[in-house]
Structure 1
Amino acid sequence: MLTIKSFHMQSVETGKKAAIEQGKLIFPLEPKTDYLLPETFEKISVQVIPPNARHVEIHSIMDIVPISTKVLGDCGNGVTHTLTGVYVLVTGGDQMGRQMHEFGSSEGYLDEKVIFGRAGTPGENDFIIHIDILLKGAPVFTRSLAFSMFQASDAFIQPIRDILKMINGKTATERHDFPDPTRKPNGKERIALVKLVAGQGAMYDNLLFPSEPSGAEDGFSNIDLANMPVVLSPNEYRDGALRSLT
């Protein structure tokens, strides 16, 4: 059984210290204390984009990340806490104006590059926390460089996850229970969904089973697994077992 408890954020702002209090999220301007900025980075900028101010210029979109954390159990079972009303947007480029992408960049005005209200994108009324990573000079775009940028954004998200773990689940805005779907229900046939994910290196990579839902730490790259088939249960997939790094 997987239980997902959501906590809706009605306002979001940045601050020196992470906090969640009565529907208000304060997102930290500094990463977790043990994070060291790579020498290839010029700076990391953090800003809150409210729903009515999305006509802002951005570097190429690297990812849109929900903020979730495991409270009890492993991926696909136990209890997960998640925030609604807010997503993290990760973008990147270098000082020469090159965009961090592989087969197509998405730099430009945010409201012209994203279709909101779809699966995997913020809703029309959601806040967006924009983390932009600017690289020094014109570095060679490598797989390790791209992954270091995902790790950097995760270092800003983790302090929020740590707080989210400790929130009393009884105060959740919503609760959803998902029984183990691997058992054959009522004699009906089980259905397998085959999903092909990218594994070509650089910006075309995927991370399996990170330590936090949709996180960037302690997972396994499908490239490092030689792109061999991996079986995920529906609840593992629902619980953030697959993090796309494209």
Structure 2
Amino acid sequence: MKISLEQHLRDYAASFYNGQPENDRNIRLKIDHTFRVRDEARRIAAAELPDPAERSLAERAALLHDLSRFEQFARFGTFKDAASFDHGDRSAELAAEQHLLDDLDEAAQADVLDAIRSHNKLAIPGTLSERGTVLAQVVRDADKIDIMPILFDYLKHPTNKSVVLNLAASPEITPAVWDDLAAQRTPPHAELRTVADFVSAKLNWVYDLNYPTSRRIFRERGYLETLKDFLPHTQQVETLYRAASARLAQ
């Protein structure tokens, strides 16, 4: 009997367990994240996408968006793409190699792969089809929403530094990151030097939430306020927070 995609993912993730606590907890972290992102994508798509077929494709893309994360941590001991590989590109490769989209027509396969490939980029490429762009938007929003509680858990109990890409545990925000934040841009990972950089960058994620439902979820769960609480209590941070709050209200 053919197993479900969900069971395939569980089995695939389990194949990377090796009995080492650091490895195994990070494999668990990513498989749990995968299913929560699926759930968030389902919630966003139900509210924002009128076409049931499109909603189904968004869910599929969400399930596969981090397919390469297990290999990434097992091989390199990090989730930092710059020290390993681009996990969006590699996840799309693996989805194709493992024939996880073979039941879809060619156009649908291309759109789902494009959404997977694009979910971790600073911006969605303008070369995607209209449907591929929609799928990417849903997955990116769902991914951002679920990363928040993972980050907050680390900030309360800072034991798994892989969550913050092994950045320096410093409350300082570096000048290059400040420049991006002030311009309402999300700083690229290559600029991040400190945990404060990592946390402050998430404030500007609100400008890249594509749907009113996503912004409502972010707002109702109090994510922006929690981010602010973990940052230096300065006028600069207060200014960033107020601007981000205004965006969430839209």
- Same-fold status (TM-score > 0.5): no
The structure that is strand-richer by fraction is 1
If asked which structure has higher relative contact order (CA below 8 Å, sep 6+), I would say 1
Greater percentage in helix? 2
Q: TM-score, structure 1 length as denominator? A: 0.31
